[in-house]
Structure 1
Amino acid sequence: MTNIVDGLSRRNILRGAGVASIGAALCPFAAEAASAEVPAPLAASQSADHATETMSVDAIDALEGAYGHQHGLRRNHTKGVGALGYFIGNPHAQRYSRSSLFSGRKLEVVARFSIAGGDPTVSDKDLSPRGIGLEFRLPGGELHHMTMLHTPMFFALMPKTFIDKFIALKVDPATHGPNQVAFKSFLMSHRDNDAQFAFLHQNNPPPSYANCAFFGIHTFRFIDANAKETIVRFRFQPHDGVKYLSKAAFDSASDEFLIPALFERVKSSAIKWDMIVSLGEPGDTLDDPTILWPASRSEFNAGTLVLETATPDPQAGSYKINYDPLMMSDGIAATNDPVLLFRSPSYAISHERRLREL
């Protein structure tokens, strides 16, 4: 079936429409697309998109194989909590990006904190990434999404590593637990996982989401008013400071402390993070989220995120949001990082399955 319309791939249609369902995004164009003659470059793009979508389906299937089918829940980062607040961008950032994210106006933000993986009952002591999804509501109805982790790097250079990890985590029917042999084999054969694995095992989990620095992981392009591009990476630095549980605190901690700590924290005052943008230099990697840039890169504060309230996940405004990392405002764009481009359709597939069950 032809899925190219006026030069737009499926992924681009989804990103532009901002919808969760692939079918819903394509339905209005189906009749026109079916009869359209596809030029050779678009046919190649279509083929590449089809391969990406196939991998995305494989990824969600692998997550369900590893953690089971969580009816009506997210397939990854399943355990979470919602939050509301605002962002005020630093107009200085307009030197690099024309995005209205940096207008200096107070912008509504719908957020969600989470723990990586598809287990809704995972212990808060689990040695896995903590995540945050942010939906910035910009003037004129424009949306901008960010999805970040508390690890400075990702574990996969290519989508195949992501898929293979969760295939390796599939429950062993003989032991009803993880297949240790399969996971050890994954670790030995996928060395792009090494840096994040080491980070998670060298640092205990944070005592609170308020003590997490959150990293954008990927490289992005800032585009100014004259269409000049600057390569950037960013992180959100907490005003409460980055902290990890001590060994004693880790040993004595319960399996449920992150959400109670968040609710307790917002009682006293709003929680704040500064958006720190690093400026790339020639030779910096653009498409490998497992490699860090040198710490010597020039940085500036691009704004402040303020979260004022927290809400249990099912009642939160974030509950039905698909935090698609390719939903970006004008003035911010993706690079050709294959993992970044893979995340958008895989999120859409996961979200579509979940919405069918709600």
Structure 2
Amino acid sequence: MKTQNKDLPGWLLAAGLGLAAPFGMAVQDEVTPAQVVAALEDTFGVTPGERRNHIKGTCASGEFVGLPAVAAWSRSALFSGQPVPVVARFSLPGGNPKVPDTARSVRGMALEFRLPGGALQHMTMLDTPVFGAAQPKTFLDQILALKPDPATGKPDPAKLAAFRASHPDSRAQARFLAEHNPPPSFANSSYFGIHTFKFVDATGKATLVRWRFVPEDGEKSLSDEELETLPADFLEERLIQRTAQGPVRWDMLVSIGQPGDPENDPTVAWPENREQVKAGTLVLTAAMPQKGAACEKVNFDPLVMAEGIAPTDDPILRFRSPAYAVSFAKRQAGQ
């Protein structure tokens, strides 16, 4: 395994999403899958056969029961009222499998819903309400700025400062992370879909939506003292112990968009007064190390969508799918 960079600032680890070939991007913003994956490898190192990003993770399993009332907006089988099996994965960003669980970075929750007839619906979420880049070029520039200085083994502070100054779209998520300590358990975070999506009803009418999953166990944060004293690895063990005590639940809350709401910019939050509806409940009954478990081989591509849910033209959302494919192909090949 190549040397890992263990000294990356948490706010810069926040982006946590792989990017790839552009969909209709302007020429000056063109970024290729090879560029971004190579940048991730150069910054974080490579563990052959493993993810290039969000490498450190934990698997879980359970089901989702949607509310039929949501059929007023979406014809997705998610909202039939019947239990849908779910494969889940919780993770920390970056390509360092030894990143400490106290890192001031995002936490991720990825879900694969296994719908009737073999259809799949993916949701890949973060525990911040906004993302750290409005355009793929920002994400690439961030990774490049994080490349360790050979003399110190750490990122160059001048390059990081230059990145912050020249990329205002990175600041909202950085500010959120600076103001909120990470959680003591994966079960104590809300997880946001980050992007705007479309719910499509039985007539074909589309409604702009954003969703988040809110924990029944409540949102909690580590104290500053705990950040200094906890061991590097505790999140996986705590989730396994928590599911052994009983089911862990999150309510899926959906915000209904209005004209003028940001549709293609994941760095901007919607107004808090948007109509919100409860769309269902996620129930996880077991958690386990990812090695050999169901989530390990899943490529949680956010554009894997079943009928009734559709993407917007958000450039970051559209960018993610091909990059995931590049990373997935490498790890399938044992690289």
1:249–1:264 CA distance, 2 compared to 1 (3 A): same
Task: Flag as ranges the 4+ runs of structure 1 deviating above 4 A.
Answer: 45-54
SS in 1 for 2:130: coil
SS at match of 2:277: strand
Residue 178 of structure 1: SS of its match in structure 2? coil
How far apart are 1:250 and its partner, in Å? 2.1
Which residue of structure 1 aligns with residue 163 of structure 2? 186
Where does structure 1 lack aligned partners over 5 or more consecutive residues?
1-44
After superposition, the C-alpha distances for 1:31-83 in whole angstroms (9 at most, x for unaligned) are: xxxxxxxxxxxxxx998699999522211111101101221110000100100
Amino acid at match of 2:142: K
Is residue 234 of structure 2 the alignment partner of residue 219 of structure 1?
Answer: no
| AA aligned opposite 1:277 | V
The 5-angstrom pairing of residues 33-44 of structure 1 reads: none
Structure-to-structure mapping, 1:187-266, within 5 angstroms: 187-266=164-243
* Larger helix percent: 1
Q: TM-score, normalised by structure 2?
A: 0.90
Unaligned segments of structure 2, at least 5 residues:
1-21
Distance 1:87 1:227 in 2: 24
Q: 1:46 to 1:94 in 2, by over 3 A?
A: closer
Could you report, residue by residue, the CA deviation over 1:187-220 in whole angstroms, capped at 9, with x for unpaired residues? 1111111011011111111000000100000000
Amino acid at match of 2:232: D
Contact 1:81 1:316 in 2 (8 A): no
Q: Which moved more, 1:258-267 or 1:208-217?
A: 258-267
| Structure-2 change in CA distance of 1:352 and 1:49 (3 Å) | farther
Aligned to 1:75: 52
Distance 2:25 2:155 in 1: 33
Secondary structure of the residue that 1:297 maps to in structure 2?
coil
How many residues end up aligned between the 2 structures? 315
C-alpha contact 1:53 1:346 (8 A) present in aligned 2 = no
What is the alpha-carbon root mean square deviation over aligned residues? 1.9
Per the alignment, residue 146 of structure 1 pairs with: 123
CA deviation digits over 1:234-292, x for unaligned, max 9?
Answer: 00000000111122222222211111111111111111000000000111000000000
Return the match for 1:164 from 133, 136, 141.
141
Whether the 8 Å contact between 1:53 and 1:345 is mirrored in structure 2 is no
The DSSP-based 3-state class of the residue aligned with 1:171 is: coil
1:124 maps to 2:101:
yes
Look up the SS of the partner of 2:85 in the other structure: strand
Matched residue of 2:291: which SS?
helix
Q: Specify which of 312, 315, 320 is matched with residue 292 of structure 2.
A: 315
Identity of aligned residues (%): 49
User: What is residue 270 of structure 2 aligned with on the other side?
Assistant: 293
Which residue in the other structure is 1:356 paired with? 333
Superimposed CA distance per residue, residues 113-134 of structure 1 (whole angstroms, 9 cap, x where no aligned partner): 0001111100111111100110
Determine the structure 1 residue equivalent to 2:313: 336
Find the structure with the greater CA-based Rg.
Answer: 1
Structure 1 residues 282-332: Cα deviation after superposition (integer angstroms, max 9, x where no partner): 110000000000000000100000111111111210101100000001010
1:185 deviates by 1.3
Provide the rounded CA distance (Å) in 1 between the counterparts of 2:260 and 2:322.
Answer: 29
Q: Residue in 2 aligned with 1:113?
A: 90
- What letter matches 1:211 in structure 2? N
**Counterparts of 1:124 and 1:273, CA distance in 2:** 21
Distance 1:325 1:51 in 2: 25
Partners of 1:313 and 1:319 within 8 A in 2: yes
